[in-house]
Each structure stands twice: as C-alpha cells, then as structure tokens.
Structure 1
Amino acid sequence: MIGAGVLLMLKKEVEWIQPSSQKGIERNSVPMASMQTLFDAALTVETAGFTSWEELERADLKPGKGIIKFVSATNWEVQVDTHTAEVLQVAQRRSDVIEAIHDGSYFADWIKLGIFLPAGIGLFILWVTGIYLFGLTEYKKIKNRKRSNTV
C-alpha cells in the first residue's frame, strides 16, 4: 500500500509509470478532427490492441495540449493530435495497475474492503496519534525549558 502510494506520487515525474503528455500543433481550441477520425488513428497502432470501441478503457481529451489519449484495456496509451489526427506517442501506462494495487481492487473486492480499507484506517490512526505524541513531547520540552530558565 505504501510502496504503491509512493509510486503514484511520482507518476508525473517518472516516465515509466505514466507517459508524459505530448503537445499537439493547436492548443486551447476546439478539435478539428472527429472523434471517429481520432480513434481510427489509434486503431493503426497494433501494440495498443484496439480493434473496436469496446476495447477502449477510456479517452482523455486534453484541449489545452491539443491531444486526446486513448487508453486500452491492456494499459497501452495512444496520444493523438486533435487537429491532424497524427499519432504522437504510444507507451505503456502502468499508473492504473499501480493504483489498483494501491487500493486493493487489483486482487478482489473483498480484499479491497476487508483488508486494505482497515489497514488504511489503521495507518491513518497511527499517523494521527504519532503526530499527537510528537507534539505533546515537544510541548513538554518547551514548557520544561521555560520553567528551568525562570528558576
């Protein structure tokens, strides 16, 4: 849980976890190509495993970058320029698998709710009580220093 959380914190900095977003030729404007034309461009990439819309896990439109990301069920990401329908990048996206491991849904729903949820709650309680005990000891140290300086 903690290891996967650390990896998720680094997903924008580490290309291996999640591919960086490319930039299209036109940014902050309405896409010129139709959704079907953009998806047809993604269909040309064999490694992504697209043969129809059913294999599409999600499509992430980034108008500010002028791209659309098509993510397959096999965690391959195809980034396509929204104006030229040119494939800009093809890369494996590992952040979704890491997130599923992190929240326990990778294993089973009963593991997610029966093991990972209680472990997360327990970890949060330990964190809160640890901060409280640290603050309490620091407060007592400061109070004792003030008392010894006035004597």
Structure 2
Amino acid sequence: MSKSVKLYQFSRKVHKWSGLILSVFFMFIAVTGLVLVYMIPFGVADELRTGKESSPDQAIPMEKVVSIAASEGLPGTDSVDDIFRIEYRPSANVYQVRFNNSQGVQIDASTGKVLSTNPDYSTFLITLHDGSFFGNWYRYTILTMTGLALILLSFSGYYMFGFPLYKRLMAKRKTRDSEI
C-alpha cells in the first residue's frame, strides 16, 4: 500500500474518532452560542432600555450607580460585593448593573432613574460559553484541545475531500497521456 493511501486511511480514522469524541464540546459551544445570539427573543436577557438623551459627561457618578443598584432590594443582592459587572451604554445612555445571581438593573445614566430590574441570564450564558464557569482548567485544556481538534478536523477533512479528486485527476491524465 502506498504512503499516500496509508495517510488517507490514517486521516479518516483521526477525523472520525476526534470528531466523535469532541462533538460533545462542539455541540455545547454551538448551543450556548446560539442561545447568546437569540437571548433577547428567547427571554433570557432583558432588552436594553433607553435613557434620557444627554452627553456622556453628564452621566451620574459610579458611586451613585452602585448605591442605586444596591438599594433596589433584589433577592441575593445585599452588598456591593454581589455586583459582577457594570456596563455603560452611551448609545442608550444607560448603565447596566449585573449581579452575580443573574439579577440585572438598568439605570438612566443622566437622571439615575431605574428603568428595569428584570433577571438577566446573559452573564451566566457567557461564562458557560467561554468556559469560565467551569474554571481556568476547562478553558485552557478542554477548549484548547477542542480548538486544536477543530483545526485538525478541518485539515483532515480537506485532505479526505482533496485526495480522491487528486487521484482521479492523475488517473485521467495518465489515460490521456497513454492514448497519445
């Protein structure tokens, strides 16, 4: 058996088994990614509200944003330590305060008025999707192996697609050359 045929057969085995084993991780990443893309229509995230129109230099100070969010009395949001992230959205003139327990508060950046206090699971979904929910060991081992395997699957797939085409072309060329 020629080296190219052996390489082709080896490529098929690697492609099949790495694809089967890692398909679980591919599906997990794909499903969480799709939910992230469609999180507002699915009701997973709170739609961004719009605050009173003003310039960013008229925004209320961060200390006031923290005190407003903490004073909302949301379940499991007893202190400033419960805040996961604060985002300022200049296009909507809104602060989005996200708590560790998937609670969210949207505050008008110029008036300090609370616009929404709906649950927001986008932070949880993001941490699932990027692997940080499971810890750095998952992110730097499983996701690295998954990414490298996807590259390997791509190259082995290209090879498995291209090798038969190459062989057919060479066979046609050989028959054409022998006819001449």
**Same fold, TM-score > 0.5, yes or no:** yes
What does residue 149 of structure 2 align with?
122
Q: Secondary structure at the match of 2:39?
A: coil
Write out per-residue CA displacement over residues 113-146 of structure 1, whole angstroms, 9 at most, x where no aligned residue: 3333213321232134324544x27965xx69x9
The equivalent position to 1:66 in structure 2, one of 93, 110, 117, is: 93
Write the distance in 1 (CA, Å) between the matches of 2:55 and 2:157. Answer: 46
Q: One-letter code of the match for 2:82?
A: E
Aligned residue-pair number: 147
Mapping for residues 1-151 of structure 1, pairs under 5 Å = 1-6=25-30, 7-15=32-40, 16-47=43-74, 49-131=76-158, 133-134=160-161, 136=162
Write the distance in 2 (CA, Å) between the matches of 1:138 and 1:45. Answer: 66
Q: Is the 8 A contact 2:26 2:146 kept in 1?
A: no
The structure richer in helix per residue is 2
Write out per-residue CA displacement over residues 39-68 of structure 1, whole angstroms, 9 at most, x where no aligned residue: 222123222633332222111111121001
Q: Look at both structures and tell me which one has the larger radius of gyration over its CA atoms.
A: 2
Indicate the RMSD between aligned Cα atoms, in angstroms: 3.2
Q: Is the 8 A contact 1:49 1:74 kept in 2?
A: yes
Q: Secondary structure at the match of 2:123?
A: helix
The structure richer in strand per residue is 1
Write the distance in 1 (CA, Å) between the matches of 2:54 and 2:28. Answer: 33
TM-score, length basis structure 1: 0.72
Identity over aligned pairs, percent: 21
Write the distance in 2 (CA, Å) between the matches of 1:139 and 1:121. Answer: 26
Q: One-letter code of the match for 1:8?
A: G
Q: Secondary structure at the match of 1:45?
A: coil
**Gaps (5+ residues) in structure 1?**
none
